[in-house]
Structure 1
Amino acid sequence: MRLFRIFGALPWLLALSAAPALADNPAAGSWQQQVAAVSAGRDSLSRGHAITARLDALGIQWRREAFERDGKRGSNLLADLGGPAGAPLLLIGAHYDKVEIGHGATDNASGVAAVLELAAALKARPLTAHRVQVAFWDLEEHGLLGSHAWVETPDRERPALYVNFDVFGWGDTLWMMSPNADTPLIRSLREAASAQQLGFAPGERYPPTDHLAFLNSGWPAVSFSLVGGDEIDAILAVFGGQNPPVAPKVMQVIHSARDTIAEIDAVHIGKALTVVERGLRDWDSANR
C-alpha cells in the first residue's frame, strides 16, 4: 500500500505483539497458509514463486508479463480462470511486491492470499456471465508501476470491473473504496456483511493503491481492505492532514519491521471472503 510517505514519518512507537489468531473456517485457514508462504519471500521473485506454486496446485494456468516503466523493471503475474466465451472480463488483483523492511505480510501478502482464495472458489464454481482473470502486480510500492503498465498496454481489454485487495490482514470491518456511494454491488455486500455480522464501510476516500491505475484511465474499479472499524476514521484523518491521538494499527505495522505474520489475525477472514464472493456472484448475475 502506498502509505509510506504518510505513515512513515508519524512519531508513534506503540507496541502490538500477538501471535496469528486461529482461522475461523477452511478458507481462512488456507488464506493464512498463503500469507505465510508469500511473506516468507524477501523479494518479488521469491514471493512470485509462492503465488505460482499455489496456482499450479489449483490447476490454474498462469503467465508472467514483464514490463519496464519509469526506469524500473518488474513482472506482473496473470491467470485466467475461464468463463463463458466472449463474456465481459472481471479482473481481480493485488500487488505482491513489498518495501525492503519487514516481511510484507499485511502489505500485501494478505491481499494476495485473498485473491488466491477467490481464485480457488471461482474456479470451482465459475461465474455465469463473466470471464475471470486474476492479477498480481509488481512494483506497487514504487508508484503503482505494475498496474499502470498493464492498463497502458496497447489494445488491452477493458474489464467490466477491476476488484483490488490491499491490506487485508485483520479487523472486523470490510472497508471498500467505491467512487459511487450506492450501487447494486454495495447493496449486495451490505446485505451479505449483515448476514455474516461483519462490519462494512464503503466510501470514496481510501488510501492510494492499484485501483487508481484503473480509475485514472476511466475504467471501473473498487478496492477492499480488512481493518478494524475503529481504525478508518483515524486513517482518513491522517489523509486530511490531522494527527489522531492514537495511531491505528495499520500505521504502526506496514512499511516497518513489524510487518510479519505475527500481526496477522484470521478471525474474520472467512466472513470477509464469503461476503466479497457473495457480492461478486450477485454482481455477475445482475450484469448478464
Structure 2
Amino acid sequence: MNLRTLLPGRKAAAIVAACAATAATLAVAPATAAPMHKDLGETINGNAVNRHLIALQRIADQNGGNRATGLPGYDASVEYVAGKLRNAGFDVTTPTFDYTAWYLDAFALHVDGAPVEGDALEYSTSTPEGGLTAPLAVVPPDSTPGCEASDYDGLDVTGQVALIQRGECAFADKQRIASEQGASAAIIYNNVEGPLNGTLGGAEDAVIPTAGVSQAVGEDLAGKPGAEVHLDVQARTEEVTARNVVAQTRTGRADNVVMAGAHLDSVADGAGINDNGTGTAGLLETALKMGSTPDANNAVRFAFWGAEESGLIGSTKYVQGLNFEQQLDIAMYLNFDMIGSPNAGYFAYDGDDSDGEGAGPGPFGSAQIEKDLVEALSSTGVEVEGTDFNGRSDYSEFINVGIPAGGLFTGAEGVKTEEQAAKWGGVAGESYDPNYHTPQDDLGNVDRLALERNTKTIASVTQLYSQSTEEVNGMTRAERAQVRQQQAAFAAQSLAGAGASHADESSSAMHDHTPDRA
C-alpha cells in the first residue's frame, strides 16, 4: 500500500517570497514530499502475530485459565508485553491504578422451577444467601426499553423481578430505574442473537441483583408475566491495584503523540484470545516492527490497558490522570479491540457518523482517521463497514475529552448478515464471535487471515501518522495548497503595485498561517 504524500512543515519567509515572485506567471508547484518509508504493514508476518497469541494462551493455561485483571494471569500478561517492549528499547512504564474488582462465586436462575441459562452482570449486588424468589414483571419494550421511569407506567413491579430488553441506555441505568420503581432484581435480555454479557460499570452503580440472558431466553420469558423467578447471585468485591503498560518511541515529537491502544485483560471465564489477545498481539507486533527509534516526526505511544472488561477502567483512569496540556499532547487515539473474530466482519469506527446510527460523530479529526483506516484495510482486498462509537471500548474517555479517535473491529456478539457473508465469507445468521466471553475463546477462536489483514492496517496507518497528523488535526493538502496559492497571489499583487523593493519588504513580512503540527 502506498502511503499518502506527506507535506513539509512551515516554510521560511524567504522561500515564500521566492514563490511569490513567479506566482503571477507560473502555477504553484506541488510541495515536495518528505522521504518515503517502506510501508510498515508489508513487514508484518501473521506467524509472528500468532506467536503472541500462543504466549497469551499459555499464560492463561498456567494461571487458572484466564488473564483477568487482578488475577495472576493478567500480571503475567503485563510482564510478557512489557518485557518484549523493553527488550526492543522502548521507554516503558507500567502505571498503576486502583479499582474495586468484582468476583462471582455462584449464580443460578430458575423460572417456574426450570433452570434458565444466563449470567450475573459484573458488579451485580448479591441476593440474600440462598437466593430470592419473586414474580416476573415484563417491562414492555420500546425504542428506549427500561430507560425512563415512564416505561413502568401502569406496571407495578414492587418486590418483583423486572425483565428488560437491552438497548439505548446503560445496563446500570436499567437496573437503577427498575429499583426506583420497587423491583427487587432485574433480568436484562439481549436485543440481538446470543448471550448477554456485560457490566454495570462499577460497584457504586450496582443497586439490585441483575442477570443477563440471551435474546431467545428473554423473548420466551416475556411471554410468562407472573412466572416464579428464583435468582441466586453470590458475589464479592475487593480493592485491587492493577497496571497498564505504556511504551513510547524515543524519537518523534512528544507534543504531538500518536497513541494506539488495546486492552490486555480477559474476562474471568476464559483466556480471551480473540477478546482481546488479537488486539494485543497485533499492536505489540506493530510496535516491535516499528522499533523504539523509528524515523518519525511524531512519537508513537503504545498502550495495553487493564480492567477494560470491568468497565474501561484502566484507560479511563489513565486519561483522567492527564492534565489538560498532557491531553493536548495526544494528537489522536487508535483503538484495536477484537481484530480476529472467527466469523469475522471488517469494521472501522464511524468517525463522521455517516451511518447515522447510535452515537454521533467523534471529535474533529475522527472522520479522517476512519477514512485512512478504511483506505488501508480496503487495500488488502476487503470492503469495510462502519461501526458505531457505542462507548464499549477504550476509546471512550479519549473521545470524552475531545481527542480524535478511530479503530478496527471484527465483531463480537452481533450477527453476520447474508450480505456480509457474501462479501466477507463466513456464516450468515451466526455471531461474529460465537465464543465471545466464554471459556471457548481460545487459540481455536481466531480468523488468522482477518488478524493479519488488520495488523497490516494497524502498522501502515500508525506509521503514516508517525510522519504526519496534519490531515487529522490540521488542514488537508488541498486546503494547504489553496492557502499557499492565495499567499503567493497576494505577494505578486504587492510586487506589481508597489515595486520590487516594496515587494521584497512585503514578502519578507509574510507569515505562513498553516498549522505547525507535523
TM-score using structure 1 length: 0.77
| Distance (Å, rounded) in 2 between the aligned partners of 1:174 and 1:83 | 32
Matching of residues 1-288 of structure 1 within 5 Å:
27-42=45-60, 43-70=73-100, 71-123=239-291, 126=294, 128-155=296-323, 157-158=326-327, 159-170=330-341, 173-181=345-353, 183-206=367-390, 208-227=392-411, 231=415, 246-250=429-433, 252-283=434-465, 284-287=467-470, 288=518
- 1:216-245 CA distances to partner (integer Å, 9 max, x unpaired)? 2222222322359x94669xxxxxxxxxx9
- Residue type of the alignment partner of 2:289: A
| Contact 1:83–1:130 (8 Å) recurs in 2 | yes
Structure 2, unaligned runs of 5 or more: 1-41, 61-72, 101-238, 355-366, 419-427, 471-517
Distance between the aligned counterparts of 1:105 and 1:58, measured in 2?
24
Identity %, equivalent residues? 21
Separation in 2, partners of 1:193, 1:100? 32
For the structure 1 residues 117 and 59, does the alpha-carbon distance in structure 2 shift closer, same or farther, using more than 3 Å as the test? same
How much does 1:75 deviate?
A: 0.7
Distance 1:197 1:80, change over 3 A: same
SS at match of 2:401: coil
Amino acid at match of 1:138: G
Inter-partner Cα distance in structure 1 for 2:94 and 2:292: 23
The answer (yes or no) to whether the contact 2:44–2:286 under 8 Å persists in 1 is: no
Q: Aligned pair count?
A: 253
Which has the bigger relative contact order, CA under 8 A and spacing at least 6?
1
In the aligned structure 2, how far is the partner of 1:208 from the partner of 1:128?
31
Which one has a larger percent helix, Structure 1 or Structure 2? 1
What's the CA shift for 1:72? 3.9
Task: Tell me, in whole angstroms, the C-alpha distance in 2 between the residues paired with 1:28 and 1:163.
Answer: 21
Deviations 1:119-159 (A, max 9, x none): 12322773633111111111111111100110011427221
SS state at 1:190 partner: helix
Is contact 1:39-1:47 (8 Å) kept?
A: no
Gaps of 5+ in 1: 1-23, 235-244
Moved over 6 A (4+): none
Listed one character per residue, the Cα deviations across residues 51-103 of structure 1 (whole Å, up to 9, x for unaligned) are: 12322343334111111135542111111123324440111111111111111
Instruction: Find the residue that maps to 1:88 and give its secondary structure.
Output: strand
* Deviation by residue 1:7-50 (Cα, 9 ceiling, x = unmatched): xxxxxxxxxxxxxxxxx986211110101212332321111122
Partners of 1:154 and 1:57 lie apart in 2 by 27
TM-score when scaled to structure 2? 0.45
Separation in structure 2 between the aligned mates of residue 222 and residue 45 of structure 1, nearest angstrom: 28
For the Cα contact (< 8 Å) 2:415–2:432, is it kept in 1? yes
CA RMSD of aligned residues (A): 2.9
